[in-house]
Amino acid sequence: MEENESSLPNASQQVKKMAYHKVNADQRTQGQYLDSDDLQATALELEWDMEKELEEPGFDHFRLDGAVQHHLGNSQSPDLDLEPIQPSASPKGRFQRLQEDPEYISHYTRQSPKSHRCSFFQILKLFCAALILFIFGIMTGYYAGKKCPSPPASPEPNNPHVYHEILKEIKAENIQQIYRDLLQSPREDDVDAAMKILLQWTSYGLEDVQLVNYSVLLDLPGSSSNTITLKNSGECFYPDGQQCSKVTKTLHNQDLLYSYAAYSAKGTLEAELVDIQYGTIEDLIRIQSTTNVTKKIALLKLGQSPLLYKLSLLEDIGFGGVLLYVDPCDLPKTTDPADKAFMVSLNNGGDPSTPGYASIDGSYRQHRLNLTTLLVQPISAVLAKKLTSVPENRVQKDKCVPLQMSSSDKKIISLSIQSVTTYKTISNVIGYLKGSVFPDRYVIIGSHHSSLNTYGGQEWASSTAIITAFIQALMLKVKRGWRTDRTIVFCSWGGTSFGNIGSYEWAEDLKRVLQRNVVAYVSLHNPVRGNSTLHPIASPSLQQLAAESQSINCVEKTKCPGSNVSSVQTQGDSDYFINRLGVPAVQFSYEDISTSENSSFLSEALFPVHVTRTEELDPSFKLHENIAKFSGHATLQIANEPVLPFNALDIALQIQNSLRVFLREEVDASQLLAVAARLRDTAELFQSDEMRPANDPRERAPIRVRMLNDVLQGLEKSFLVRQAPPGLYRNILYRLDERTSQFSVLLEALEHCKLHQSNETIQAALSEVLNSISSAQVYFKAGLDVFETTLAGKK
């Protein structure tokens, strides 16, 4: 604008106002799909009262291009992107009106434009010109409205009635039909399953559905099964317990071949078998005091802590091999996989040949034959009984007796492992429902499909049927003109059973975009594992939303009461988003009530469960319907609420609770507690002073809401430690399991001190946690400072 525009009469101001709207409209049509940082211009236009803004002193110097170029997207540095636009511009007046300050104009000290005397004829001419423009504008709008009917008005995006209308279209019979359709035709590989899902999603009207392929290094079974031979008797066994010399009609070749540990070391090892139970620190200290474990083979139970963590300890103290099994006493009474071996993956995540970067054309490939020096072989409980020489009748007065070798029993075994590493194509199906207000903010909801084999049963079809039914119900509403505010990204991942490879590669491929744009992740990983109890898991900031979703949408009331939301480590493709991007996540699943507290991390084992298992667990598919509605409600809330439904104070409270449990005499955590107290105070102030007014529609201002959401979106990023032991989360907000409340990295550091008699590890872990909490406190404080600066104006 020219400097002399400040003296233009009112008619010119009307023209200037129309031009402002036109420029903004043009700019909105030029936004890119994956990168829309100019959305603040759209948000500003939603609630600006341009008549009042034009009356503010000093508006004549407001530069439109300056507002457009200013970015408000999320950033690693809170002091950069969270700065408001120029204090001299109109948002300052809006923020003061937000606080209902009747004298907000008096805060401005700019000099008003000089007054000009106008003659009677000049006033008359101006009045006539304004009248002509007014009439012209009305007629133009009238005829334009007749030629171009306005699109149907969408309901309030945060109206619970809208959510109910969508969720009531999710029916158990629809999920069951989709499930059966997915399993109807035989599939040869991962791409076939992905293509079928893509066609389904497209048929329901999802706008943009893509097939994203990656060539990755997989560790697949050899042409024959791995074997375990007892050298004392010369007996040879397959992993499921059958003797090598016998071939029965019940032998499932596919199941037998896939009874292996992907990415294990290959070869043959002959050594003494050592029973180490669950491989806890206490178990290892006890064994080392009596036995030289170098190059021995450990008999290890799955459970209590992550498998990769336990294997790292065994590798560290010198073991050469591992026989892995699940003790029947740790399983619910309703299941009996005692005669079955299982599959595990030793991959911590992603394509092993491209660690830390995407497997795209031209990427450097590291041909890694194995990810550990240990020869690892899963075996059935039947074979474990034979190796421990326990009697068949192990039930004493209705109490299950855990498997354990006699201390005097010495067995020499020969373990032979043969698997083949080869490059295969895995496929992800990615579908987008673009948001109407914030298309550059993504809510991801993810399931997984079968990966190159039928091992692991048909759980993939269960999760895929749920996400497909949600798409079907959602698109019915979208076709009637409604649309979510934020973009929903629907994902069906490939390569999950080999270490979440599909999700890792896609996320590494789009890392820069996802770091800035992803708001939350809703997981549908193996949602119906049992039928006894609902088990919701959520990051601390989403626990209240998870509790609300399950209470509103419970179809079978007897299945829902008493289910507590927790933040514990879980399996599945949410791993990258939680541990690399610091994205809040939520997951609902049904499980069986276990008979043992050692059952945590048993889901790392993939048993050959077949089609009938899912139908037996949930014959009416009502549990599937529940999961679809819980997950759908959480997704809609995050995608539509003007202010993200994240609870900052819950994070601070969980931090304090974790530290209180950790306090011990030998550890000085006073500094940690002081920082945690400051974090709680800042979070409480942030939640009361900034989130409360933003949640009130009468006080809500678009640019303020966008700035607030940018702060909320980065809440959990501060809690990513640089490095964590294998199998443990880098996001320290998640506990190891339901039994422990301490920070996992601190708990592991204490155990490491016991094993190695050194305090160096605990000091390093304490420093990591201290820096995380301090960083979060600074982040919250910076968010508060931004709003205070906006309210007070630049001094």
| 757 torsion bin: left (phi>0), alpha (psi -120 to 50), beta (else) | left
Task: Give 3-43 pLDDT, tens digit per residue.
Answer: 444 444 444 444 344 443 433 444 434 433 444 444 343 33
Task: Give 685-737 pLDDT, tens digit per residue.
Answer: 888 777 776 767 776 778 788 888 999 999 999 999 988 999 999 999 999 88
Which range is least confidently modeled, 61-65, 249-253, 450-454, 548-552? 61-65
**Cβ–Cβ < 8 Å for 491, 447:** yes
What pLDDT is attached to residue 348?
92
Q: What is the mean pLDDT of residues 356-361?
A: 92
**Cβ–Cβ < 8 Å for 627, 445:** no
Q: What is the dihedral of CA 760, 575, 254, 195, to 10 degrees?
A: -160
pLDDT band, very low/low/confident/very high, at 637 (cuts 50, 70, 90): very high
pLDDT band, very low/low/confident/very high, at 653 (cuts 50, 70, 90): very high
Of 126 and 146, which is predicted with more confidence?
126
DSSP line for 249-313:
TT--HHHHHT-SEET---EEEEEEEEE-TT--HHHHHHHHHH---TT-EEEEE-BSB-HHHHHHH
Please state, in angstroms and rounded to a whole number, the distance separating the CA atoms of residues 793 and 795.
6
Say which residues have a Cβ less than 8 Å from residue 245's Cβ, sequence separation at least 6.
236
Q: Name residue, tokens 């999710």.
A: 170
Task: Give 410-443 pLDDT, tens digit per residue.
Answer: 889 999 999 999 999 999 999 999 999 999 999 9
**% of the chain beyond a pLDDT of 70:** 70
Say yes or no to pLDDT of 320 above 60. Answer: yes
What pLDDT is attached to residue 791?
53
**% of the chain beyond a pLDDT of 90:** 43
Give the ranges where 318-456 is alpha helix by DSSP (H): 381-388
Say which residues have a Cβ less than 8 Å from residue 336's Cβ, sequence separation at least 6.
328
Residue 421 pairs with which residues in a beta bridge? 219
The two counts, helices (H) then strands (E), for the chain are 27, 20
Of 503 and 97, which is predicted with more confidence?
503
Q: What are phi and psi of 526, to 5 degrees?
A: 45, 65
Of 396 and 234, which is predicted with more confidence?
234
Per-residue b or e along 255-294, where b marks 16 or more CB atoms closer than 10 Å to that residue's CB: bbbbbbbbbbbbeebebebbbbbbbebebbeebeeeeebe
CA distances from 537 to 546, 564, 568, 697 (A): 8, 9, 7, 31
Say yes or no to pLDDT of 558 above 50. Answer: no
Eight-class DSSP state of 60: G
Q: At what angle do helices 543-552 and 622-640 cross, to 10 degrees?
A: 130
Please state, in angstroms and rounded to a whole number, the distance separating the CA atoms of residues 331 and 752.
29
Q: Name residue, tokens 């409604």.
A: 482
Three-class SS of residue 423?
A: strand
What's the per-residue H, E or C state across 211-225?
EEEEEEEEEEECCCC
Whole-model pTM: value is 0.79
Of 502 and 110, which is predicted with more confidence?
502
Task: Give 499-519 pLDDT, tens digit per residue.
Answer: 999 999 999 999 999 999 999
Task: Give 582-628 pLDDT, tens digit per residue.
Answer: 999 999 998 876 656 667 888 898 887 655 577 888 899 999 999 99
Task: Give 67-92 pLDDT, tens digit per residue.
Answer: 333 333 333 333 333 333 333 333 33
Residue 633 pairs with which residues in a beta bridge? none
What pLDDT is attached to residue 672?
87
The token pair that represents 502 in the structure block:
């599909």
The token pair that represents 419 in the structure block:
């698997």
Q: What is the mean pLDDT of residues 730-756?
A: 85
Q: How many CB atoms lie within 10 A of CB 229?
A: 18
Task: Give the pairing type, strands 438-448 and 533-534.
Answer: unpaired
Eight-class DSSP state of 114: P
What pLDDT is attached to residue 422?
92
Which range is least confidently modeled, 33-37, 163-167, 471-475? 33-37
What pLDDT is attached to residue 18?
44
Please state, in angstroms and rounded to a whole number, the distance separating the CA atoms of residues 617 and 246.
33
Three-class SS of residue 150?
A: coil
**Cβ–Cβ < 8 Å for 573, 500:** yes
